Amino acid sequence: MMGLGLGDPPADYGSIMAVGLFVALMCICIIVGHLLEENRWMNESTTALLLGLGAGTVILFASSGKNSRLMVFSEDLFFIYLLPPIIFNAGFQVKKKQFFRNFMTITLFAVVGTLISFSIISLGAMGLISRLNIGSLELGDYLALGAIFSATDSVCTLQVLSQDETPFLYSLVFGEGVVNDATSVVLFNAIQNFDLGNFSSLKFLQFIGNFLYLFGASTFLGVASGLLSAYVIKKLYFGRHSTDREVAIMMLMAYLSYMLAEVSTLHY
């Protein structure tokens, strides 16, 4: 008779270990970053890089390379459970007045700039990889590389800027980083959901339509969810009895908008 005993590990033991180690490193990073907050040579980003490097080195040498992929977890786990809180935190921390006051400039940098960067990187990858004879890649692979590398991370830049001393510059950098990531994710999903075989001008227009559909639908769902959440919180006034319900409905509505966007993408 085949079966699992009481002492047998679950089937997804590797994923549990990876998530547990990830959460532990995040806790250590927050604590150490708080202790080094006044240090001019160290910040939270540098602490995270050093902790990740140290943890990877320890795992690699302790297991003689056998468990070097311990920190690798599934793509669904990241996009469904870990990415939504990161996006929610980025949107929650942004200064609304500065963001909407400079919205057109941020959109110009984040959307138009990302599309220009995507085009240049994709064309550059086609020319470079074909010359190096690394391997045969399809058009979708080159476009995916362009979408991935066009996503810029402004975390390190924000660490050297003061939100109080340079509010305009901080708002531009922070807003561009958030919208740029969203544009890159939508662009990557548009590439993944589109058949690029036998590429033609008609299919190019269909690809643009796919991108605009994903971008517009995601924006509409986010705005609609935010307005609905604000209306429910204002009218029902959860804070009169308990702030727990108010915070819970705000976070759940934000998570719902993300999942609705994912569902609409899957069914496109």
> Does residue 191 lie in a domain region?
yes
pLDDT over 90 for what percent of the chain? 1
Same domain, 153 and 211: no
Same domain, 204 and 181: no
Same domain, 101 and 189: yes
> Does residue 176 lie in a domain region?
yes
> Does residue 90 lie in a domain region?
no
**Separation of alpha carbons 251 and 229, rounded Å:** 9
pLDDT of residue 155: 67
pLDDT of residue 239: 63
Same domain, 205 and 242: yes
What is the pLDDT of the chain when averaged over all its residues? 77
Domain that holds residue 36: 18-63
Q: Which residue, 197, 214, 245, sits at the end of a domain?
A: 197
Same domain, 39 and 118: no
> Does residue 238 lie in a domain region?
yes
> Does residue 207 lie in a domain region?
yes
Same domain, 207 and 229: yes
Average pLDDT of the segment spanning 97-124: 87
Same domain, 100 and 142: yes
pLDDT of residue 267: 47
Same domain, 103 and 185: yes
> Does residue 80 lie in a domain region?
no
> Does residue 130 lie in a domain region?
yes
**For 53-68, how does the pLDDT look when each residue is reduced to its tens digit (9 = 90+)?**
888 788 777 777 665 5
pLDDT of residue 120: 92
Residue 262: pLDDT above 60?
Answer: yes
**Domains contained in the chain, number:** 3
